[in-house]
């Protein structure tokens, strides 16, 4: 079978994790089968459409490497790929339904329909529009809604994720095909587009499962073959009880990129929201995902979004990335003061903090002391109120003596990391003190921070002159 999948979002807002997962799974199915992945924009709800949303969707897919083969900005054999540019096609298919007696002009006002709803509620019965279907509807003129005339029946179908499903005829109803503004509804347009674009797999969110019997009824009325259906479970909030929302901290995908999350990490993390390959593996490269992905291994229950696991995943990809590849990515995240320093110095700094980075936006916080002098007030505060447990046991007089001896032993050093390590470890034995006291005191003097990268490497990168200058300044601070 020729595999053609699609991602068909509406440009009504930013693309979040749930949408990206749907796109990713559709992309993986296509790439695994060496098929085509299509981007189609379902832009028929003009009231909800947001300026810039189309560009955001396109940029999100491209930055994650989910390149589509056909789409609104690159064309393809089934163009156009914006539904607002396909209106004539929907009218032609609508006319086929009218000719078959399977569609009719809706003669009712909004107020009349609401009255029908109220009556059903009062009678404690479900509202079904087909119970109020007009016996002699007017000829459709394109200015009133066009409704599908359903033929209710039980349905059985197979979903690649949810398995075998079935419903009774009571869920099949007459729904709007084309609105009074001339634009089609999703329920109609996506079926037409999928047929015309020869889409083999329809992968979409759980919110559409209740409408599937109506879609099956429409496929039959149009004489169309059903595509393979796959329903994605919800992505749940941190507590795992309800669907992830903005209130739970759900971000625009591009916000994660802006914060310094690597595309590879986002793809790996999102792929594991509701899917695994049956092993304990948690980190996947794109190549591994293409090789291992299987819709049948997508879980039926919701998948919890865990921001900490995302950070852990991103940190893993940062640590594994070669420094030469990570360095250009870091360029836009350095603190402002880093502009005065050369590329090699910044690369040396990056090599020290690479092991600790969870996302690139942490760079300024972790590295500022490499580019700017620590504030005396911050150094003094950390000596007055040390956070290191062992350092708390030492008096200021003892700390000052340790720093004096450290400066003496480092003065003749050639400041290679090997020599710094040897001298300070030797001083540790000579003074019979603990690393948690000596090294913590040096770290505060040098960085003005509660924590820092590996101390010996930090001293090496800062260099001899700057390191000794900061030690002496800290000694003066302890005298006051």
**DSSP code at position 341:** S
**Alpha carbon distance 71, 420 (integer Å):** 58
Pairing of strands 155-159, 163-167: antiparallel
Q: Give whole-number Cα distances, 208 to 248, 252, 260, in Å.
A: 23, 22, 34
| Helix, coil or strand: residue 463 | coil
Q: Which of 125, 173, 172, 181 is nearest to 147 (CA)?
A: 173
Q: Which of 51, 74, 62, 48 is nearest to 20 (CA)?
A: 62
Answer whether the bond into residue 80 is a cis peptide, omega within 30°: yes
Q: State the catalytic residue, choosing from 46, 125, 242, 246.
A: 246
* DSSP one-letter string for 30-99: HHHTT-EEEE-B----TTT--TTHHHHHHHHHHHTT---SBBTTTB-TT---BGGG-HHHHHHHHHHHHH
Pairing of strands 235-236, 303-304: parallel
Please tell me the number of Cα atoms within 13 Å of 378 on its side-chain side. 14
Q: Does the annotation count 246 as an active-site position? A: yes
Task: Please say whether the beta carbons of 79 and 37 come within 8 A.
Answer: no
Contacts of residue 206, defined as CB under 8 A and 6 or more positions apart, other chains included, come to: 231, 232, 233, 234
**Alpha carbon distance 310, 256 (integer Å):** 10
Active site residues: 246
């Amino acid at each position: 079978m020729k595999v053609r999948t699609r991602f068909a979002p509406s440009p009504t807002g930013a693309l979040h994790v749930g949408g990206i997962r749907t796109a990713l799974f559709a992309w993986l199915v296509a790439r695994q089968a060496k098929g085509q992945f299509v981007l189609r924009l379902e832009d028929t709800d003009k009231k909800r459409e947001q300026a810039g949303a189309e560009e955001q969707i396109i940029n999100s897919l491209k930055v994650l490497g989910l390149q589509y083969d056909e789409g609104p900005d690159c064309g393809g054999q089934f163009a156009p790929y914006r539904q607002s540019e396909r209106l004539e096609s929907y009218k032609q298919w609508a006319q086929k339904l009218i000719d078959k007696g399977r569609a009719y002009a809706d003669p009712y006002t909004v107020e009349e329909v609401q009255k029908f709803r109220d009556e059903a509620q009062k009678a404690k019965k479900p509202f079904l529009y087909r119970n109020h279907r007009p016996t002699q509807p007017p000829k459709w003129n394109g200015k009133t809604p066009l409704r599908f005339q359903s033929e209710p029946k039980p349905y059985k179908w197979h979903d690649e994720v949810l398995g075998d499903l079935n419903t009774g005829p009571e869920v099949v109803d007459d729904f709007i095909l084309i609105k009074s503004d001339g634009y089609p509804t999703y329920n109609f347009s996506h079926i037409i587009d999928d047929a015309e674009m020869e889409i083999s797999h329809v992968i979409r969110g759980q919110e559409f499962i209740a409408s599937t019997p109506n879609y099956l009824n429409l496929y039959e009325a149009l004489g169309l073959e059903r595509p393979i259906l796959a329903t994605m479970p919800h992505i749940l909030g941190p507590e795992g009880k309800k669907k992830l929302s903005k209130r739970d901290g759900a971000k625009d995908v591009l916000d994660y990129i802006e914060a310094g999350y690597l595309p590879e990490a986002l793809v790996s993390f999102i792929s594991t929201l509701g899917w695994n390959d049956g092993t304990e593996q948690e980190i996947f490269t794109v190549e591994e995902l293409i090789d291992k992905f299987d819709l049948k291994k997508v879980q039926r229950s919701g998948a919890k979004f865990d921001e900490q696991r995302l950070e852990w995943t991103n940190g893993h990809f940062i640590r594994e990335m070669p420094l030469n590849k990570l360095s250009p990515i870091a360029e836009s995240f350095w603190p402002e003061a880093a502009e005065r320093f050369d590329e090699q110095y910044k690369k040396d700094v990056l090599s020290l903090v690479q092991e600790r980075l969870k996302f690139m936006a942490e760079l300024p916080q972790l590295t500022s002391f490499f580019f700017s002098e620590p504030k005396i007030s911050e150094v003094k505060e950390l000596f007055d109120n040390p956070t290191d447990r062992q350092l708390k046991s030492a008096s200021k007089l003892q700390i000052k003596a340790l720093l004096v001896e450290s400066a003496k032993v480092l003065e003749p050093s050639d400041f290679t990391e090997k020599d710094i390590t040897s001298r300070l470890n030797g001083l540790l034995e000579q003074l019979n003190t603990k690393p948690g006291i000596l090294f913590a005191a040096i770290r505060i003097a040098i960085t003005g921070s509660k924590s820092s990268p590996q101390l010996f490497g930090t001293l090496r990168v800062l260099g001899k002159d700057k390191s000794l200058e900061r030690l002496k300044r800290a000694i003066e601070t302890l005298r006051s």
